[in-house]
Structures are given as C-alpha cells and as structure tokens.
Structure 1
Amino acid sequence: MSRLRSASLCLALPATLIGQAAWADLTPAQVWGDWRQYMENMGYTIEAQETAEGDDLTVSDVTMRMQMPEDGGAFSMSIGTLNFVQAEDGAVDIRMPEDMPMTIDIAPEKPEDKPVSMVLNYGQTAPQMTASGTPEALQYDYTAEAISVTLTGLTVDGESYGEDRAKFNLTGSGVTSRTEMTVGELRSYSQTGQIENLQYDVLMDPPDEPATLALKGGLAQISFDGSGELPVLDAADDMAAMLRAGLAFQGGFSAGAGNTDMKVSDPENGDFGLISTSGGAKLNVAMGPEGLAYDGSQQDIAVDVTAAEMPFPIKFSMAETGFNLKLPMKKSEELQDFAFGVTLDQFKMSDMIWGIFDPTGQLPRDPATLVIDLTGKAKVLFDMMDPEVATRMGDQEPGELHALTVNEVSLKAAGAAFDASGDITFDNGDMETLPGMPKPVGVLDLSLVGGVALMDKLVSMGLLPQEQAMGARMMMGLFAVPGEGEDSLTSKIEFTEEGAILANGQRVK
C-alpha cells in the first residue's frame, strides 16, 4: 500500500502545480520558500538555484525527487525555471515553463521481475498563475489554454519501446482553477476547477504477450471541487500517521458526455472490441479520521461489445448506474458507521442477446432494475491504513459487524419483482447460536411478485429443471404466505433474542 501511495503522489504532482503551486506569503521569496517546504513535507527532495532580482525571484534547474519505499524505484521531475514576479497590486505572478519532463524508475521487487523506466512530459500551453489576497487568506488562480501528459520514453529490462508499441497521451483544453487556503498547524484549502474537454489515447503492446491494446476516448465539461486539511509531517507515505495528525479531504468530480473505444488485437485468442458512450458522470470522495467514502453515478450508458467467440455484437444500455461505499478505517472501541449501495437502473439488452435463451419471446423484456442499499455499524479492530498492522493481521478478521439495516434490496426483471428490508443487530459475544457467526436479532421483510409465473415459464423453456422448480415451491410454502395481489408472496423472517428463527410466526429453528 505504501508504494501505491507514493505513486499517487508522483502522478498527482501536475495537479498540485496547477492548483497549489504556492503556500506562502505574498512576496516572491516567501511564495517559493513555502512551496518548497510543502513539497519537502510530502517526501520530495528539492534541488534548485535561486537568484534574486530586486523584489523578483528566479529559481532555475528545479528538480524534484522521491525514493519510493520497499525498493519500489524512484521518481524525478525536472521543472526547469520558475519566475516569481512581484505585481504592482501586491500579488505574485508565477511563471512556469510549458514543458516539464517526469522520470519514473521502477526497480524489481523479485528477481524474475523486470526493471522499468518511463519518461512523461507534463505540458502547458499559455499557463498563467497568480497568488493574491493576504497571508491569512491566500488565493491562487490558474488558467491554461491546454495541458497534457505524454509518454515520451519507455524502457523495459533494457529494451526501448517507441510510440508504435507504447503510447500514452492525455490532453485537456480550457483549463481553469482557483485555490483558497489558510496556513497554520494544518494547511486548510478549498479548490474549484474546470476542463472544457479531455481526450486520451493509449496503446500498449507488452513484451512476451501476443495481444495489443488500443484505447481512445474523452470527456466533456469536467468540473471538480474539493476541500481539506493537510498536516505538516515528514511522513507523507504513512497514511495512518497522516490521518492521526488530522488529514482530511473531500471532493467531487462531474463530467458531461463521454465516450470510449477499446480494441484488443490478439492473434492467438481472437480480437475484442468495446465502444461505450455516456451522458454524464459524477464521483465524490472523502477521507478522514472517520474513514473513507465514495459515491458515484453515470447516466445514459450504451455499450457495444464484439468478440471473436461471439457470432454477433453484445449490446446493452442503462439509464443510470451508481454505487456508494463508506468504510471506517481507524481502530476504535466505539461503533462506526458503514454503508454500501449499488444501482443498475433500466438495464436493457439487445434482442439478439434475448434470442439466445428466449427465441420465442416468452419472457417479458421490460428493462431490469437492481437496487442495493445497506447501512450499519461495525467495530474496527485494526488501523486499516497502517501497512505494518495489515501485515501482522494474518487471518484475523479486521472488524466486527454489530448492526445491519437493509434499507432496500430490490430486483425487477423478466416480469418478477423481489423486495427486502429490515434491521438486524449482531451479538459478537455469542458465536454458538449460529456456529461461526454472531447471533442475529431482528426482522427481515421479504416480498416476491410474479415469481411463480416466472418459474413456470423457465420450466417450459427448459431453462429450469422441473425438480428444482418443485423444490423452490416447497421452500416458498415453508417460508412465505400469500400477499395481497395475484402471484404475490410475502415473508417475515424474525431472529429472536432466544436464538430462534421464525418465518411468519412459525419456528423454523
């Protein structure tokens, strides 16, 4: 995990330069000095030559280096020359070069692994950055006609790969950002930004592999915003220490229409292709002492897949797909909240796919929808972000489940609808009532509409053996009672304090 965090710091550096290139007072010397201190606190070694020219400051031959832990390699970035110019209104103009090369060297962890070296160029067209405000309330404004990250060199085990075998090109146009911050024991910041259009073009022809991957696509109208607090520590690769010291951030990303075109050329196993489009996307991320949280969604998705093994394209679409995840990460004797959710709304398949298993059209082909919405409380037994603790855990469980709320679990497909909801608590001091798991206490309410009719159709189509259908009907008879409408079943499953399990008031355990 520590290697991943270090790599993330390296790859996030261009964004740092865009939005937070200075954390300082409003003189050129202080702007550069505090920016340097910030990067050194993040684990970088800075090399540079400083030349004062009146109130202005020129910093030349700027190089940033980081040694990744666990013999994971090294990262370096040549920024070139930075000019910090005192403006007449008291602001500081920060002038940067348009090209800044980055080098990443990855040393092998195992003898059979191969060393990798790559050079990426971070480019800017007509960049402008200004620091303004007061030392207690700083504001940084950045604009650029375009930004880019381009792979300019790749060497694997001493063999060089040209653009015909390895290509990575990410370009964005119409870039703006604003960062506001205060500096004290913690560095507090808020940031907003926009990119009018983002395009990517990737090619991978790995050694010793027959397949070649080509990936192209783009997003329109990207916007982002975020805020957080960064501790001043010489331990940027120790996420657990950063969290204990007050690290916290939250941010959101949204985009308009997007598209992806992926092609895999494989002479041994056959070619593969995927074309997808979407009408928009959102992603929110938060991390702090209370844990980690994600939620995201994508609208109006259409996917078209072709594969050598398939005689026709696989096409499907969804009105929306979404997910949410909230995980406590810090060890505590107190119970902490968690959440998990998935939404697949209005899923549609092409008639060609339906025709594989339902050629006569016996099943309703209405769009399918799946919703899972779970929340609960758990006790975390280890600091999840501490790699040393994670290594010592072994086979031990990372936490204890104490409560689960089924806000909604629903599935609508092929003319049937299933729903579930309920609340259950768990006694982790009793692992005997249900061997191997804590004793549950609570109620689950279940309902199924159209299930019997769906089973009958599946039996007549030969997709469900008659004996399995009979077994399912027997289970329904034991655990369910008729509902209000036709072909409707309901069930109330109760887990009692005494350890019994009841189905609609009848004891089944």
Structure 2
Amino acid sequence: MTRPILLAACITCLTAPAAFAELSPGDAWMHVTDQLGARGLHLVAEERRDGAALVMSDVALHWLDQSDPLIEIIGTFHLEPTSDGAVILTIPEPLHTMTFTETPSQRTYEFSGFEARFDGTPANAEISILSDSIASRSVVEVSLDSPARAQLTTNTNLRGLQGAITSALSEDASLDMDIRGESYRSAFKFSRGEDQEFDVTTRLSETVTSLSLSSPREFDFEAFNQNPFPYLPSTFQSRQGPMVVSGEFANAEGRSTIDFDTGPATVDFTRTPERMRLLSDGEDAALTVEGPLPGPPLSLSMERMGYRLELPGHLPEENQLLVAAFGMTLEGITLGEHVWAMFDPNRLLPRDPANLELELSASVPGARGPDGEFTFGQGGRVDLSQISLSALGAAVSLSGGLEFFDVEEAEGDLIASAEGLLPLIFSLRDAGLLPPETVGMVQMMLPGFATKVGPNRHESRITLTRDGSVTVNGTQIR
C-alpha cells in the first residue's frame, strides 16, 4: 500500500511549481529543483510547451552526490492553467518508472489516474488531489546466486482519495492525505532451479488510510542517521477489511500450502516529540497448513489479535534512559479438531480456547559521542507487568522486574503463579501424554517450589542475583 502513496507524494512534489501560474516555466522549475535539492535530490527532465500547458517528460531523480539515476519516470505530466489562476495536473497515459539499486535487481512501476489542483503563491503552494481513483502495478525482480530468482508483483486500486500538500520554499513541507483502497493484490515468487519454489499471494480489500507527514526542509543524511524520528509521520491510521494470504512451497519432499485469513483490522500510529505509539487490532484470523508431512492438515483460528508498541519520540542529546513498552493480546486461540485428534483422540483434555497476554517495558541507557553519533550503553532494565497464558483448563502468569548489567548478569525478582496446574497434569497423564512417574515426581516436588495460595492455585518467587544464582521460594536451583 505504501508504494502508490509515496509515488503520489513524489509526483505532487515534482509538480509543485505548477501552482504558480504567473511564473515562467524556468522560475517554476527552479522551485521544484530547490525543494528536491534541499532533500538531497537532483531532478532532470525534458520540458516543452503545448499551447498554454507545460509538459514534463523523461524525468530522472539522482542523489546530489551520484551521477547514476535513482528513479527514471517514463511518461508525461500535463500542467494546464485555469481561469482562476490555479493549475491542474493530469497524467494522460500510465507512467512507467524504474528504480536502480546496487543489488542486481530490476524494478518497474506503472501508475495511472492521478489528477491534482495547485493553488497558492510563488513561495507557498497548496496541492489538492482530485483523482477519483488511482491504479498502480509494480514488479520487482532480483537475481540471487544462480539459479535463484525472486519476483514481487503488486496491483493496487485506490478510490475516494482526499489529500492536501503544503509546499513552502522557506518551511517544512506537510502532507495530509485520506485514501480508500478498493483492492490490493501482491504476488511473491521465489525459485532456486527445480529444487525449491515458493509462491505467496496477498489480497486485501476495503482499506481506509489517513496520513499526516511533515518533511523537514533541509534533508541531511547524517542528521537522519543520527535522529530519524522527525522524518516519520505524525499520525497514521489505517482501517482494512478482510485479508487473504495464500502460499505454496515445493521442494524435493513434496508440496505444501499455507492459507491465512483475517477479518477487519486497524492500525494507529501517533508521534509527538516525547513519544511514539503504534496500536494494532484485528479479529477472526485463521491459519491452515497442508503439506507432505504425514497426518491431517494443521489448522488454527483466533478471535482477536492486539499489539501495542511505545518508543521515545526523539533521541536525547545527553545521557538518558530510553524507555520502550510492548503489549500483546491474543484471544480465542483454537486448534482444529483434526489436530486435537492426533494427540487426544478420546477428548480427555479441555478444548477451551487459549488466551495470551503480555505487557512489558524496557529501559536502556543511551548517549551521544563526541561526533554526535548516538550509541546504546550497557545494561538496562526490563519490567514485566504481566505475561499470562490460559489453555487446557489451566492458567499461568509471570510478573516482576530484572536489572541487567550485561548480557549474562542480571538481578531481580519474578512472581510466577499457576491455577489448575495439578488437574491439568492429571489430564495429561490420563491422555497418555505424561508417564505416571513424572506426575508423581511433580506432586512430590511442588510444595518445595510453590506455595498454595488458594484452591488449585500456587505461587512461586524466583530470585536472580548478579553472581548468577537462582532461587525459587528460597530453594537454590543454581
């Protein structure tokens, strides 16, 4: 989905001078080259007049310090002045673009249906997207070590676009865009001769995306590497309909298929100078795997998937702890009955849907060196608010915090609790999945490592010290 969005933004940036109907083509082109040059790009194109219209063709973009093109666009942009002093940009025929990288790859893109209106002054442009729909197609081919090859093809149809871009010579450029995607389809193929093949097809429909982005006026790669956060969108929201992913893998052992379906899903991203937050929520996921392995197809379904990620909104100039947080919720995880039948044909184990929840935060020291480069320091801390899993009629959870001094040195306390543990162990024994002697050993050792705090509920305190020792409820196990 990002390729047509970025290409649309690139096109509007290229044609920003057309908003200035009173300027000469040379003056207008200077505005374009200035905006791109401030961001590290050099623009080359053929210009000609068609009556009052300006036609640009054979566009090529270069990094300022490189002679080889980064992108070549084959096609024309028509910029027609209007009676009220604005300019309408149209693409009369599909654009074909090619990108060039250091890897042995060929990338081609087709883009059609774009139309925009430009208003403003020589110093400030307002660009409004008028397109009812935009269609794009891309093909990326990569030659790996012979005879391996990979190819990715995408087809996208967008409808109901609403967007505005502000372009000023003396300020940062801003982009606000709303996009409704009617359909999206991608196909990825990988082959290594006749021994190995891998195909994946993705289909997505009914997508609504909103984007707000501020592009810094002076783009500096060194500054970007040291602090990339100002170049990220300030807001990004996406609402998508059902998604279907189908894959096929073939090798000498046979052929396998993978099908993954999801229901509606949402993605929300916000960035402030202090924090960045990414939230994702989806429902009704199903996975099916069929292959040459013996046994029935493997299948799994899930009622809900939720994720949360929080990061600092900037890299500090001085020594400071960077705090990140991550959360995940998986609800209603269910295995297919034919999967259960492989190890529990007599239905002795509970078939309750499984649930998993995780909430943790981490803090890591960071500092800038004399050259301005940001580096992470040693050590840090992880606080586990909760990790809990309920399945097979039992529930376990873990919480606490650990302070790390290096990779192998840590200290702190963790609280582990389990409910329904013994009934689950007995069910596993009855199903033939645990030998009786193992069950007896667990019953004998459990009082030494866990405290009974309620009916069928046990709790343990796990303590780690910096010298590497580990104790559980006061009993040293390491």
Question: Structure 2 length as normaliser, TM-score?
Answer: 0.81
Q: Secondary structure at the residue paired with 1:249?
A: coil
Does residue 340 (structure 1) correspond to residue 318 (structure 2)? The answer is no
Residue in 2 that maps onto 1:132 = 119
> Is residue 324 from structure 1 mapped to residue 294 from structure 2 by the alignment?
no
Question: Aligned letter for 1:218?
Answer: R
Unaligned runs of 5+ in 1: 1-7, 109-114
Q: CA deviation at 1:223?
A: 1.6
Aligned residue among 363, 366, 381 for 1:380: 366
Q: What CA RMSD, in Å, does the superposition of the two structures yield over aligned residues?
A: 4.3
2:210 matched residue in structure 1: 225
Structure 1 residues 88 and 321: alpha-carbon distance in aligned structure 2, compared to 1, 3 A threshold: same
Counterpart of 1:321, as a letter, is M
Structure 2 residue aligned with 1:417: 395
1:160 CA displacement: 12
Aligned length: 468
Question: Which residue in the other structure is 1:141 paired with?
Answer: 129
Counterparts of 1:462 and 1:67 in 2: how far apart (Å)? Answer: 69
Q: 2:42 aligns with which of 40, 45, 56?
A: 45
- Alpha-carbon displacement from aligned partner over 1:402-433 (angstroms, at most 9, x marks no partner): 443322211010000112334x36374xx7xx
C-alpha deviations, 1:115-172, integer Å up to 9, x for none? 33x24132213x3211236765734224243411233x8584999999xx95624121
Give 1:101-116 correspondences, 5 Å limit: 101-107=96-102, 115-116=104-105
How far apart in 2 are the matches of 1:476 and 1:34?
A: 75
Give 5+ residue unaligned stretches, structure 2.
none
1:277 aligns with 2:261: yes
SS of 1:366's equivalent?
A: coil
Counterpart among 325, 345, 352 of residue 366 in structure 1 = 352
Residue aligning to 1:213: 198
Q: CA deviation at 1:215?
A: 3.2
Amino-acid identity (%) = 20
On the 8 A contact 1:19/1:177 being kept in 2, the answer is no
Instruction: Compare 128-137 and 285-294 and name the one that shifted more.
Output: 285-294
Q: Which residue of 2 aligns with 1:426?
A: 403
CA distance in 1, matches of 2:279, 2:429: 40
Q: How does 1:376-455 map to 2 (within 5 A)?
A: 376-381=362-367, 398-422=376-400, 424=401, 426=403, 428=405, 436-440=408-412, 444-455=414-425
Give the structure 2 partner of residue 195 of structure 1.
180
CA drift at 1:39: 3.3
Per-residue deviation, 1:367: 0.6
Q: Return the offset for 1:287.
A: 6.5
SS of the residue aligned with 2:172?
strand
Aligned counterparts of 1:227 and 1:473: Cα–Cα separation in 2:
59
Shift in CA distance, 210/191, structure 1 to aligned 2, threshold 3 Å: farther
Deviation at 1:317, TM superposition (A): 0.7
Equivalence map 1:2-401=2 (5 Å): 13-17=6-10, 22=15, 26-28=19-21, 29=23, 33-51=30-48, 56-66=53-63, 75-107=70-102, 115-116=104-105, 118-125=106-113, 127-132=114-119, 138-151=126-139, 156=143, 168-181=153-166, 183=168, 186-202=171-187, 204=189, 206-208=191-193, 210-236=195-221, 239-241=224-226, 243=228, 246-250=230-234, 251-266=236-251, 268-285=252-269, 294-328=278-312, 330=315, 332-381=318-367, 398-401=376-379
CA-to-aligned-CA distance 1:317-338 (integer Å, 9 cap, x gap): 1011232333458365112221
What is the deviation of 1:56? 4.8
Deviations 1:452-508 (Å, cap 9, x if unpaired)?
A: 111122233332345554554455423422223x211134557899x998866x586
Deviation, 1:68, is 10
Is the Cα–Cα contact under 8 Å of residues 302 and 316 in structure 1 kept in the other structure? Answer: yes
Taking structure 1 as the reference length, the TM-score comes to: 0.76
